[in-house]
Amino acid sequence: MSTASHTSPTTAQSIRLVAEREIGSRLRSKAFVISTLILFAIALAAVVWGGFTASSTSATTIAVTTETSSLVPDAAGLEVTAASSADEALALVEDGTVSAALVPSSAVPEAEAGAFDFTVVGDTELPSGLLQSLSQVPATYLLEPPSTDFLLRYFVALGFGIVFLLAASTFGGTIAQSVVEEKQTRVVELLISAIPVRALLAGKVIGNTILAMAQILVLAAIAVVGLTVTDQQLVLAGLGGPLVWFAIFFLLGFVLLASLFAAAGAMVSRQEDIGATTAPITMLVMLPYFLVIFFNDNPLVLTVMSYVPFSAPVGMPLRLYLGEAQWWEPLVSLVVLAATCIAAILVASRIYSGSLLRMGARVKLVDALKSR
């Protein structure tokens, strides 16, 4: 009489099975699918609205002198004001009467020399599309050049902050609830009889990380397509590199937080108790969001944020977009984040293993760390 041999899955196979189970359960959830589609729709609407707002401005006002009036074509969208002299044209720019002035280059000695003997002067920025409207492309000069447009700076900071907040808190909370649910239904006892505890943790983290990264990539694609369609190439050019860095930092930052959320969920046996163990982690997720909202114009705060592991996924991409970070800074920050991520995984794995089979009262952190 022969007995069929039973081969246990390898650790890699176990991790893959758990990850597939996590992904499948989320994709079968109507709430998850609907909320994701709503998030994509809001992101697309925000990009398109921003593009139409930027392009729906009134006619561009420009002051010209007798020497430069012939260079301005009689085109729609331009409102030309004749000035008696270059000084008068510059004064109209300074007091906000016109958006720009086209004057002889000799009137603006501070400006860099161009191919022609005239210069377009603006106050803090040049009107979008003005240079393309001129018959010849001149040199440009700003009376008060800004570091970054305040409104654009605010919305980029808001975008990075809210995407990280929503993804980390939503998926993190889902992981913790999933762990508690498996403990309540005793499913976890069946799972760990077939696969190692650490493989169960790794599969949960990897599965949810794949879903979170998929959302981030789709949001990035929506931003790129939306900015391209609405003719916001300048914004897109500035956001390209920071978006890539955001995805890289988000990957490590999410793995760090997902591991901690799973460990926090393992410490309790009832859904009502989840808040007690996940509250500190939730605060770590929310803190970067509020910091970039209130301190996006504070270089010191942003610099500190870009090196703190829990806020680096928001702080460093924002500094890269603003041009305030040196080329080596994201690399150093990434190393710090990766080292913290490894340490968090090791600690979370120990807590998870020491708490998963304990039922009843909440497991104390010290007890969970001491268990083997």
Walking along the chain (372 residues) 10 residues at a time, the average pLDDT comes out as: 59 92 92 91 83 61 82 68 87 86 80 69 71 63 61 80 90 92 86 88 94 93 83 73 93 95 92 91 92 88 94 94 90 96 94 87 85 64
According to the model, what pLDDT value does residue 56 have?
Answer: 53
Interatomic CA distance for residues 131 and 137, integer angstroms: 6
According to the model, what pLDDT value does residue 191 have?
Answer: 84
What amino acid is encoded at 253 in this protein? G
How many angstroms separate the Cα of 309 from the Cα of each of 93, 123, 190, 197, 245? 45, 39, 36, 26, 14
Token digits of residue 65:
């002198």
Token digits of residue 108:
């603006």
Token digits of residue 257:
């937080």
60-64 β-sheet, strand order: 78-82, 60-64, 100-104, 118-122, 139-142
Interatomic CA distance for residues 34 and 222, integer angstroms: 17
The DSSP-derived string for 243-277 is HHHHHHHHHHHHHHHHHHHHHHHHT-SSGGGHHHH
Token digits of residue 97:
């009467």
Q: What is the pTM of this model?
A: 0.76
Is residue 64 within a helix (H) or strand (E), and if so which, with residue range?
A: strand 60-64
